[in-house]
Amino acid sequence: MKDESLKFQNDVNIFVFGTRGIPDVQGGVEKHCEELYTAMPENFHITLFRRKSFINNNISNQCKQIRFIDLISTKVKGFESFFHSLLATLYCIFYRPDIVHVHNIGPGIFIPLLKFFRLKVVLTYHSPNYEHKKWNWFARLILRIGEKFALSGADAVIFVNKEQLQKFSKKIQQKSFYIPNGIRLLELSEQTDYLKKYDLIPQKYILTVGRITPEKGFDYLIDAYQSLPDKTYQLVIAGGIDHKTSYSKSLCEKARKQSGIVMTGFVKGEELRQLYSHAKLFVLPSYNEGFSLVLLEAMSYKLNVLVSNIPATKRVKLPVDSYFQVGNEDDLSQKLHQKLADPDSLVDYDLSTYRWENIAEQTAAIYQQLENNH
Query: What are the φ/ψ torsions at residue 106 (nearest 5 degrees)?
Result: -65, -60
Residues 210 and 135 in one domain: no
Residues 176 and 33 in one domain: yes
Residues 276 and 301: beta-carbon distance below 8 Å: yes
Residues 104 and 249 in one domain: no
Rounded CA separation 89/92 (Å)? 5
57 lies in some domain: yes
Residues 185-218: tens digit of each pLDDT: 888 999 999 999 999 999 999 999 998 988 899 9
249 lies in some domain: yes
Torsion over CA: 198, 204, 209, 211 (sign): negative
CATH of the domain at 217: 3.40.50.2000
pTM: 0.78
Work out the widest C-alpha separation in the chain, in whole angstroms.
Answer: 63
Please tell me the predicted confidence (pLDDT) of residue 274: 96
DSSP H/E element including 114: helix 111-116
Burial of 93 (0-12, 13-18, 19+ CB in 10 A): middle
Boundaries of domain holding 279: 193-352
Pairing of strands 44-51, 12-17: parallel
Residues 96 and 119: beta-carbon distance below 8 Å: yes
Query: What are the φ/ψ torsions at residue 82 (nearest 5 degrees)?
Result: -60, -50
Tell me the three state secondary structure of residue 184. coil
Residue type, 13: N
49 lies in some domain: yes
For the chain, the residue count is 374
Residues 302 and 156 in one domain: no
Range 293-309 burial, b when 16+ CB lie within 10 A, else e:
bbbbbbbbbebbbbbbe
Residues 87 and 39 in one domain: yes
Which of the residues in the chain have pLDDT under 70? 1-9, 57-62, 75, 77-78, 129-130, 132-135, 345, 374
38 lies in some domain: yes
Residues 128 and 108 in one domain: yes
Residues 34 and 144 in one domain: yes
- The residues with which 67 forms a beta bridge, in sequence order, are 47
Residues 362 and 342 in one domain: no
Rounded CA separation 159/163 (Å)? 9
Residues 364 and 334 in one domain: no
Q: Hey, which bits of the chain come out as E strands? A: 12-17, 44-51, 66-71, 99-103, 120-125, 156-159, 176-178, 205-209, 234-238, 261-263, 281-284, 305-308, 323-324
Residues 74 and 94 in one domain: yes
Residues 236 and 262 in one domain: yes
**Number of Cβ atoms within 10 Å of the Cβ of 204:** 14
The domain tally of the chain equals: 2
Rounded CA separation 351/165 (Å)? 22
Residues 222 and 165 in one domain: no
188 lies in some domain: no
129 lies in some domain: yes
Residues 321 and 335: beta-carbon distance below 8 Å: yes
Please tell me the predicted confidence (pLDDT) of residue 7: 45
187 lies in some domain: no
Torsion over CA: 220, 222, 240, 31 (sign): negative
Please tell me the predicted confidence (pLDDT) of residue 62: 64
Rounded CA separation 324/306 (Å)? 7
Residues 293 and 31: beta-carbon distance below 8 Å: yes
